[in-house]
Amino acid sequence: MWRASVLTLFPEMFPGPLGVSLIGKALLEKKWSLDAHDIRAHGRGKHKSVDDTPAGGGAGMVMRADVAVAAIDAVRANDKAKRPLIYLSPKGAPLTQPRVRELVQGAGVILFCGRFEGLDERAIEARQMEEISVGDFVLAGGEIAAMALIEACVRLIPGVLGAEASKTEESFEEGLLEYPHYTRPQAFENLDIPAVLASGHHGEIERWRKAQAEMATRLKRPDLWALYEKRGRSAKTPAFQQTGASEGKKK
């Protein structure tokens, strides 16, 4: 069973969105498992302090290395599967669909959710944490990012979503954004479903969808388009690869 363990100051946030819809149904059916651990249980002193002022001065507070490592070690003590330890961080390598596929092929993940101004760098180095970012923006903590990573993985577990073939046509699977979708009614506010989709000509429909995916990628994500063109439009493997995702493992 694929297992996600989350280290957080707010374990009550879980399962949250992960407990509803098909992802939540799969959790109840034990197709995957989730356990949340309170970092504050390893805090220092009678007030269970988990943070302190930044060395060298500056605004905000920093999560302590000793507290973080104690929480990590407590989870790892019973982890025979040697799951990857991931710190959700805006300075991490971007999360990509290829990395998601790698993660779901393993036994699961251990996710560390930071708070405050960040985590003491020594904890990251001492436990060889892989840093992953879900986008070029800053959140109040890593919990929402952890949920996004977990959902991206769980939906690929066989039997969770069904329609396994459709997953190969989704955004990023061939290095392109997904083509547009339509359904009834045929006409909506003077906009019609493209005629080719009602033609019954599967070859024409496939070519139209490929052209639409290429156009959307070229206009909306020129960074992906450049990589896609570099590999060749006929490439059947992802047009971009995770960069730096394994740096933490090499330390």
Counting residues of the chain whose pLDDT is more than 70, the rounded percentage is 89
Task: Render 17-86 in DSSP notation, one character per residue.
Answer: GGGSHHHHHHHHTTSEEEEEEEGGGG-BTTTTB-EEPPTT--SS-EE-HHHHHHHHHHHHTT-TT-PPEE
User: Does residue 242 carry a pLDDT above 60?
Assistant: no
For residue 251, pLDDT over 50 is answered with no
Tens-place pLDDT, residues 155-174: 999 999 976 645 556 668 78
Who has greater pLDDT, 241 or 186? 186
Going by pLDDT thresholds of 50, 70 and 90, the confidence category of residue 233 is: low
Mean pLDDT value of segment 204-208: 97
* Sequence-ordered strand ranges (E) for 114-247: 130-133, 187-188, 191-192
Is residue 158 within 8 Å of 116, Cβ to Cβ?
no
User: Using one digit for the tens of pLDDT, what is the confidence trace for 43-98?
Assistant: 999 999 999 999 999 999 999 999 999 999 999 998 989 999 999 999 999 999 99
Are 157 and 118 a contacting pair, CB within 8 Å?
no
Q: Is 226 helix (H, G, I), strand (E, B) or coil?
A: helix
Q: How many CA atoms lie within 13 A of 185 on its CB side?
A: 5
105 phi/psi in degrees, rounded to 5: -80, -15
Beta carbons of 112 and 129 less than 8 angstroms apart: yes
Q: What percent of the chain has pLDDT over 90?
A: 85
Q: What is the mean pLDDT of the chain?
A: 91
Are the beta carbons of 109 and 149 closer than 8 angstroms?
Answer: yes
**DSSP code per residue over 235-251:** --S-SS---STTHHHH-
Using the predicted structure, report yes or no on whether residue 234 has a pLDDT greater than 80.
Answer: no
| 27 pLDDT above the threshold of 90 | yes
Which residue has 């407990």 as its token pair? 19
Class of residue 220 by CB neighbours under 10 A (exposed 0-12, middle 13-18, buried 19+): exposed
Quickly tell me which residue has 């990857």 as its tokens: 84
pLDDT number for residue 140: 96
CA triple 194-187-214, angle to 5 deg: 25
- Residues 117-143 pLDDT 10s: 999 999 999 999 999 999 999 999 999
Determine which of 147-161, 164-178, 180-194 has the lowest per-residue pLDDT on average: 164-178
